[in-house]
Chains A and B, each alone.
Chain A
């Protein structure tokens, strides 16, 4: 299968869930999907045996500091794209040379995504990492124990968020 065919296959599979497609490189397609559609979209890829899950990447898009004088804008109600004041989870699937990314945006106060472990069991390591590093709660992942952070790490402190500037701990 050449690259164009692979791209075509992925686009067809993900068509029903696509909300937006922000960027496109030669070897990369990005598809923005709604949070609720995530398991269905992943299942569509897995059932068609389209590649494998390479990584789940978390991103933090903090609200930019308002310019002096300007009124801070209101965040939009429905998260649909890689917009600001959002956490984003990128589900990166790889097939040959192509990387297909499912992008899911969540707000800080409702940072939860459904687990895909029932479809891809080995995703649990990535999901636990996502939870620990970004505080995106993955609902239904089998094990929620600490994977990477120390046992005495404070709760609700997520090191890869931009707001994290280090722990103030008395040694």
Chain B
């Protein structure tokens, strides 16, 4: 029975630096295993689309341009993704990974939430195809580089 059992804590804290992280001003490095934005290696992909089947959030689209020449376009919806990494586990060919560097994915426009991977000309070709259809979602070519 005593009054003010936390006196020690509060008096020590008065002379200590607050633990609050001043996030946008001071950034801590993200841990190596952090699951950030999905990465895609078209050279390893076989176009089996198991990742698309297993994705719980419909966050991945894979379009096969030419299977033999390994020309694939992967479209990744950062806003739909739940960052569970089931696709990375499901992929038998290590074509998918998750970045621990690109994780500040908030954006002011919806367009930034769609990231496309693949060869530039394939993306452009698909982009033209898609934009011909009325009401289709716009495609933003390259992943935004965040530092």
User: In their complex, do chains A and B touch, with some C-beta pair under 8 Å?
Assistant: no
